[in-house]
Amino acid sequence: MDWIENLRRSFLDWDAMGEVLPMMIAVGLKNTLILAFASTVLGVAIGMALALCGISRSPWLRIPARIYTDVFRGLPAIVTILLIGQGLARAGRELFGPSPYPLGILALGLIAGAYIGEIFRSGIQSVDRGQLDACRALSMSYGQAMRLIIVPQGIRRVLPALVNQFIGNVKDSSLVYFLGLLASEREIFRIGQDQAVVTGNLSPLLLAGVFYLLVTVPLTHLVNLIDNRLRVGRSTTGAGTSGLVEVGELKGAAASVDADTRFNGGSLAVRGLSMAYGEHEVLKDVDLTVRPGSVTCVIGPSGSGKSTLLRCLNRLVEVKGGDILLDGDSILGMKPEKLRRRIGMVFQQFNLFPDHTALENVALSLTRIKRMNKDAADRVAKARLAEVGLAGRQHHRPSRLSGGQQQRVAIARALAMEPEVILFDEVTSALDPELVKGVLTLMADLGRRGMTMVIVTHEMGFARRVADQVVFMDEGRVVEAGSPEAIFDRPQSERLKRFLAEVL
Ligand SMILES: Nc1ncnc2c1ncn2[C@@H]1O[C@H](COP(=O)(O)OP(=O)(O)OP(=O)(O)O)[C@@H](O)[C@H]1O
């Protein structure tokens, strides 16, 4: 069996492996890790800049980012490494000295940046649009929303892909030897190859392969672990609460709220409001008066413009014509962030920040927007959570709360900013039926305590019981507005009669 002996001598020459092992660890492994790590760090910095440029509205940022990505992703790594390493050799010598090592890191980093940029971009763009809405409704600027919520969430989602990129850099570092590294700068592959020439067999190279696997295989498992964790984290709904528990939580909370503490509700006046998405006219000449401390329920068929009307009230969308007055002042001249401190909003899909606990969700805008110190913000946040019956769940993340509890955290978050008006956009539509009551009970209580509320709802029973005014919209217009009795018992228009016949 000569050929087996030949193979053994070629690949499993233990003496040759033993001889190269110390150098493989002290020089090769060290250099490979430095090259991979430094180029990944550089790649992350370049990638983040590319991602932010890539999602920018300005073509001056978007187009160069696109070109960069196409070029560095499209070229074979070895071409880039040689072009940078040899093309910039002179400048490199002046900047870094004679060694091509830093240029190798630069080349690997430039290549990695193109891939990491795409990873970041897709991560950031995969963050639910509602997160940005929630940030804006909490009066964060676009930059703050990106920095505090959207980008960190996007990065968290793409952590596995980033680790994969690091693995890619570990492997690509083997190409840098083409630049002619000094002996002390050789990485795993180069040492294996050099020693293979000396020993005349492939054992040192096989050992180099084993070293690559020792670095990359655990990392691959780490990727899977992170991936699983993220998936489990997302799907856990460990709440396990029933509707009865939820209403019970609120009863407990009612005792902690001083029923005499009243909100300082503001007034709204909508005059001749129109709004369009491009050519599509969604609101037409809408007039509406909302008294301080009153509850207005907006009802109407799907697509009639109810949500858009709410979004105009805190300028999440811009109006086309007409005016909106808050306590007599036009909101159109106000800075949107200032306006949104005064008009809070709660969304159908809750839009809580998933990486933050209930307490952090409520406290975030207090520290970041209202500039309260952390202790004071936590005190306020705890009090607001207690008011919505969630004192015992402050440290739960949204994924561990039921839909009803999440919605109550969202209400606490809006309340914490001490708004004069709160807008509710179909806040019970995404809830299981048994969880609806808890949220509606809470909203009715806010109404009793004088909060001005504009509520888009399909809960007709709630509108009849709680509203001071019911507004029926159809095809972008207010068709009828009046007391619940007037709307539900004495509808005037054919359209309202038909709508009520369908929903009641
Ligand atoms: N971002 C958008 N871009 C373009 N059109 C939109 C956008 N949002 C809503 N629309 C359109 O505007 C119209 C009114 O939508 P809006 O969501 O305000 O209605 P709605 O009465 O709240 O409906 P629903 O009860 O189904 O939520 C619809 O025709 C809708 O398709």
Taking only the tens place, the pLDDT of each residue in 454-493 is 999 999 999 999 999 999 999 999 999 999 999 999 999 9
d(CA 464, CA 361): 32
User: Ligand 1 pocket, 282 CB below 6 A?
Assistant: yes
- Hey, what amino acid is at 16? A
Q: What is the pLDDT of residues 30-62, one digit of tens each?
A: 999 999 999 999 999 999 999 999 999 999 999
Spatial separation of the C-alpha atoms in residues 291 and 296, rounded to whole Å:
9
The separation between the first and the last C-alpha atoms of the chain, rounded to the nearest angstrom, is 89
| Ligand 1 atom at shortest distance from the alpha carbon of 308 | 18
pLDDT, one tens digit per residue, over 414-442 is 999 999 999 999 999 988 888 898 899 99
* Substitution candidate for ligand 1 out of 277, 426, 429 with most atoms within 8 A of CB: 277
The alpha carbon of 308 and the centre of ligand 1 are apart by a number of angstroms equal to: 6
Closest residue by Cα to atom 26, ligand 1, is 302
- Mean per-residue pLDDT for 361-377? 95
Q: How confident is the model at residue 339 (pLDDT cuts 50, 70, 90)?
A: very high
* Cβ-based neighbour number of residue 352 at 10 Å: 26
- Which is nearest to 503 in space by CA: 300, 312, 279? 300
Please indicate whether residue 463, judged by its CB atom, sits closer than 6 Å to ligand 1: no
Lowest mean pLDDT among 246-255, 315-324, 445-454: 246-255
Q: What is the pLDDT of residue 256?
A: 59
Q: What does the pLDDT look like over 185-202, one tens digit per residue? A: 999 999 999 999 999 999
Specify the ligand 1 atom closest to the Cα of 476: 14
CB of 471 sitting under 6 A from ligand 1:
no
User: How far apart, in Å, are the Cα atoms of 378 and each of 123, 147, 313, 375, 503?
Assistant: 30, 21, 29, 5, 43
473 CA to middle of ligand 1, Å? 13
Give nearest CA residue, ligand 1 atom 12.
Answer: 282
CB-ligand 1 contact for 495 (6 Å cutoff): no
Indicate whether residue 307 lines ligand 1 (CB < 6 A).
yes
Task: Reply yes or no on whether the pLDDT at 247 is more than 80.
Answer: no
Rounded CA gap, 345 and 339, in Å? 12
Predicted pLDDT of residue 66? 97
Percent of the chain with pLDDT over 90: 80
pLDDT > 80? residue 229: no
Q: What ipTM is given for this predicted complex?
A: 0.96
**Residue owning the nearest CA to atom 9 of ligand 1:** 308
Q: Is the CB of 306 under 6 A from ligand 1?
A: yes
3-state secondary structure 99-115: CCHHHHHHHHHHHHHHH
> What spacing in Å lies between the alpha carbon of 441 and ligand 1's midpoint?
27
Average pLDDT over residues 133-147: 95
Is there an atom of ligand 1 within 6 Å of 402 CB?
no
Determine whether the shortest distance from the Cβ of 97 to ligand 1 is under 6 A: no
- How far does the centroid of ligand 1 lie from the alpha carbon of residue 474, in Å? 12
Q: Tell me the pTM.
A: 0.83
Query: SS3 for 455?
Result: strand
Instruction: Compute the radius of gyration of the chain from its Cα atoms.
Output: 31
Protein residue with least CA distance to atom 1, ligand 1: 277
58 lines ligand 1 (CB under 6 A): no
CA pair distance 49, 66, nearest whole angstrom: 12
Q: Which pLDDT score is estimated for 241? A: 60
pLDDT at 236 over 50: no
Residue 476 alpha carbon to ligand 1 centre in Å: 10
| Position 180 confidence tier, pLDDT thresholds 50, 70, 90 | confident
> How far away, in angstroms, is 306 Cα from ligand 1 center?
8
Nearest residue (by CA) to ligand 1, atom 2, is: 277
- Quote the CA–CA distance of 32 and 34 in Å, as a whole number: 5
The closest of 299, 292, 293, 288 to 323, measured between CA atoms, is 288
Token pair, residue 416, equals 């914490």
pLDDT tens, position by position, 67-114: 999 999 999 999 999 999 999 988 988 898 888 999 999 999 999 999
- What pLDDT, on a 0 to 100 scale, did the predictor assign at position 260? 61
Q: Name residue 367's amino acid.
A: T
Ligand 1 pocket, 308 CB below 6 A? yes
Which pairing describes strands 452-456 and 421-425: parallel, antiparallel, or unpaired? parallel
Q: Does the C-beta of 305 come closer than 6 Å to ligand 1?
A: yes
Q: If DSSP codes are grouped into helix, strand and coil, which group holds residue 121?
A: helix
Centre of ligand 1 from the C-alpha of residue 281, in Å: 10
**Which residue, judged by its Cα, is nearest atom 3 of ligand 1?**
277
What are all long-range contacts of 310-313, with beta carbons under 8 Å and residues at least 24 apart?
A: 310/345, 310/423, 310/425, 310/454, 310/456, 311/425, 312/270, 312/273, 312/275, 312/283, 313/268, 313/270, 313/343, 313/421, 313/423, 313/454
Find the 235 Cα to ligand 1 centroid distance in Å: 29
Please say if the pLDDT value at position 145 is more than 60: yes
CA 309 to ligand 1 center in whole angstroms? 10
303 touches ligand 1 (CB under 6 Å):
yes
The greatest distance separating any two alpha carbons of the chain, rounded to the nearest whole angstrom, comes to: 102
Task: Report residue 200: phi and psi, to 5°.
Answer: 75, 10
Question: What would the two tokens of residue 177 be?
Answer: 């030897």
Tens of pLDDT, residue by residue over 255-307, are 656 656 788 899 999 999 999 999 999 999 999 999 999 999 999 999 999 99
Statement: residue 132 has pLDDT above 70: yes
CA of 277 to the centre of ligand 1 (A): 9
Q: What is the mean pLDDT of the chain?
A: 92
- pLDDT of residue 253 exceeding 80, the answer is no
Atom of ligand 1 nearest to the CA of 310: 18
- Which residue CA neighbors atom 13 of ligand 1 most closely? 303
Instruction: Determine if ligand 1 sits within 6 Å of the CB of residue 277.
Output: yes
